[in-house]
């Protein structure tokens, strides 16, 4: 028997119909922002309870634009988690504001809502909660705190499209319509456009201003003239990308259902193996979309050696993410080891195992067996 194919930690599922739709856009003569983008925005809006949605070329651009629409800039503080993709914090710096990190709840690995109030200052203007791995932050508690302290909320839902909170999809409003929700469609996300993003708008902002911030601040007039009255970015999505998104959206429910099945299978296998020191992720099959399956390695495991050994066995393992306040850029701002011990511990031990809709049940068995064997060797080689 030949060696099984390499199993990456994720892989997009793009059907032939979508590939044909992309080819049709390429043949149409209109390849950048146009009718496909508008159709994609409309379809996303339906998913989000009819709220206004604008498509962007990344989930970073959506977060930055949401901060600008909320009027956040120099002198303002924005609360977020240190255990996220660095984009979440970088955008706060990008608009000239100050990120204030709050350590995570070890049970959910999301921002610890019990610690938010202690992090508030008179300058705190907003909070960016992140649904890590697709597990939603408790929306009732989040908005109770936000309302109590007049904070703007920008949900970083880059990983949680398809997830829900108490039966309502992430993207619908949990904050009385004053909240923003940001999605990413990067290649690794549950729904992809290769690169892309979408912003669900708060109902007190002008969608036309959002569109100007998306494209150079340009306002066009019927006589062919134009004006620029705000500084906008170059953040528009192409129709090529939107055609991929439209094709993906048809499968979103099936993708989420399959991801939940694969996650359940991981728990079954790991429960049977009962590996000492391996901490499994929170078991949530109602809300979470299982964007990633992330056990924490036993403390002291050499993660680099573990990843290399898994690769030798044909299995891709990712790391999402080291605690971001320990990156050089953030250390230069004064953050240091020990500031957020829970995020640091998780960030050192976390691994992302393969989980994507096209995975076979047998792949899970193979990953778990390889992981058990690799950990057994690491401990017997006397670390």
Within its chain, how far is the Cα of 366 from the centroid? Answer: 27
Q: 3-state DSSP call for residue 78?
A: strand
Least distance (Å) between residue 109 CB and ligand PLP: 12
Report how far residue 144's alpha carbon sits from residue 149's, in angstroms, rounded to the nearest whole number: 9
Task: Say if residues 64 and 126 touch (Cβ distance below 8 Å).
Answer: no
Report how far residue 93's alpha carbon sits from residue 90's, in angstroms, rounded to the nearest whole number: 5
Q: 3-state DSSP call for residue 321?
A: coil
How many residues are given for the chain? 383
* Token digits of residue 68: 């600008």
Note whether 95 binds ligand PLP by CB under 6 A: no
Q: Among residues 64, 112, 138, 156, which is the contact residue for ligand PLP, using CB under 6 A?
A: 156
311 is an active site residue? no
Which residues 312-351 are close enough to bind ligand PLP by CB under 6 A? none
Choose between 77 and 195: whose C-beta lies nearer to ligand PLP. Answer: 195
Choose between 130 and 315: whose C-beta lies nearer to ligand PLP. Answer: 130
Note whether 101 binds ligand PLP by CB under 6 A: no
Choose between 317 and 368: whose C-beta lies nearer to ligand PLP. Answer: 317
Choose between 317 and 370: whose C-beta lies nearer to ligand PLP. Answer: 317
Stretch (H or E) spanning 67:
helix 59-69
Residues 6+ apart with CB under 8 A from 249: 40, 43, 44, 47, 191
How far CA 130 is from CA of 139, 172, 366, in Å, comes to: 11, 16, 31
Choose between 130 and 367: whose C-beta lies nearer to ligand PLP. Answer: 130
Note whether 153 binds ligand PLP by CB under 6 A: no
Q: 3-state DSSP call for residue 213?
A: helix
Note whether 155 binds ligand PLP by CB under 6 A: no
Least distance (Å) between residue 51 CB and ligand PLP: 20
Choose between 88 and 173: whose C-beta lies nearer to ligand PLP. Answer: 88
SS3 content of the chain, % helix, strand, coil (to 5): 40, 15, 45
Residue that the structure tokens 């791995």 belong to: 133
* Catalytic pick among 189, 234, 250, 336: 189
Choose between 77 and 156: whose C-beta lies nearer to ligand PLP. Answer: 156
Q: Among residues 18, 33, 45, 88, which is the contact residue for ligand PLP, using CB under 6 A?
A: 88
How far CA 111 is from CA of 21, 68, 119, 155, in Å, comes to: 40, 23, 12, 12
Note whether 85 binds ligand PLP by CB under 6 A: yes
Q: Which stretch binds ligand PLP (CB under 6 A): 55-63, 140-148, 275-283, 325-333?
A: 55-63
Residue that the structure tokens 């703007």 belong to: 152
Q: Among residues 130, 181, 244, 367, which is the contact residue for ligand PLP, using CB under 6 A?
A: 130
Least distance (Å) between residue 156 CB and ligand PLP: 5
Note whether 60 binds ligand PLP by CB under 6 A: yes
Count the alpha carbons within 13 Å of 363 in the hemisphere toward its beta carbon. Answer: 20
Which residues 189-228 are close enough to bind ligand PLP by CB under 6 A? 197
Residue that the structure tokens 């856009």 belong to: 25
- Give the torsion sign (CA, 259, 261, 262, 268): positive
Report how far residue 222's alpha carbon sits from residue 94's, in angstroms, rounded to the nearest whole number: 34
Note whether 58 binds ligand PLP by CB under 6 A: yes
Choose between 62 and 301: whose C-beta lies nearer to ligand PLP. Answer: 62
Note whether 352 binds ligand PLP by CB under 6 A: no
Binding-residue total with ligand PLP (CB under 6 A): 14
Note whether 80 binds ligand PLP by CB under 6 A: no
Note whether 45 binds ligand PLP by CB under 6 A: no
Q: Among residues 7, 53, 59, 113, which is the contact residue for ligand PLP, using CB under 6 A?
A: 59
Q: 3-state DSSP call for residue 29?
A: coil
Note whether 281 binds ligand PLP by CB under 6 A: no
> Which residues sit at the interface with ligand PLP, rule CB under 6 A?
58-60, 84-85, 87-88, 130, 156, 158-159, 184, 186, 197
Q: Mind telling me the catalytic residues?
A: 189
């Amino acid at each position: 028997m030949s060696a099984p194919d390499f199993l990456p930690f994720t892989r997009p599922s793009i059907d032939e119909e979508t590939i044909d739709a992309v080819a049709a856009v390429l043949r149409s003569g209109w390849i950048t922002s146009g009718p496909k983008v508008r159709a994609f925005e409309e379809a996303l809006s339906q998913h989000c309870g009819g709220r206004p949605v604008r498509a962007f070329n990344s989930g970073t651009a959506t977060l930055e634009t949401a901060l600008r629409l909320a009027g956040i800039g120099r002198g303002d503080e924005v609360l977020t988690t240190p255990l996220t993709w660095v984009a979440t914090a970088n955008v706060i710096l990008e608009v000239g504001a100050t990120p204030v990190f709050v350590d995570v709840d070890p049970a959910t690995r999301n921002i610890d809502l019990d610690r938010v109030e202690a992090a508030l200052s008179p300058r705190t203007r907003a909070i960016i909660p992140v649904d890590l791995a697709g597990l939603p932050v408790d929306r009732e508690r989040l908005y109770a705190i936000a309302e109590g302290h007049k904070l703007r909320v920008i949900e970083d839902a880059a990983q949680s499209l398809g997830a829900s909170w108490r039966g309502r999809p992430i993207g619908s409003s949990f904050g009385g319509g004053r909240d923003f929700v940001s999605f990413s469609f990067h290649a690794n996300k549950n729904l992809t456009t290769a690169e892309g993003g979408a912003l669900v708008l708060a109902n007190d902002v002008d969608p036309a201003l959002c569109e100007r911030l998306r494209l150079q601040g340009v306002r066009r007039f019927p006589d062919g003239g134009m004006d620029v009255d705000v500084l906008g970015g170059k953040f528009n999505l192409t129709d090529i990308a939107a055609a991929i998104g439209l094709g993906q959206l048809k499968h979103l429910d099936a993708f989420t259902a399959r991801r939940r099945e694969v996650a359940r299978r991981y728990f079954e296998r790991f429960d049977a193996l009962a590996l000492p020191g391996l901490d499994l992720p929170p078991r949530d099959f109602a809300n979470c979309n299982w964007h990633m399956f992330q056990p924490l390695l036993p403390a002291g495991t050499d993660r680099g050696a573990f990843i290399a050994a898994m690769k030798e066995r044909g299995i891709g393992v990712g790391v999402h993410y080291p605690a971001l306040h320990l990156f050089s850029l953030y250390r230069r701002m004064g953050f240091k080891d020990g500031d957020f011990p829970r995020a640091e511990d998780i960030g050192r031990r976390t691994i992302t195992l393969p989980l994507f809709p096209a995975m076979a049940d047998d792949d899970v068995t193979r990953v778990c067996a390889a992981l058990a064997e690799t950990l057994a060797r690491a401990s017997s080689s006397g670390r």
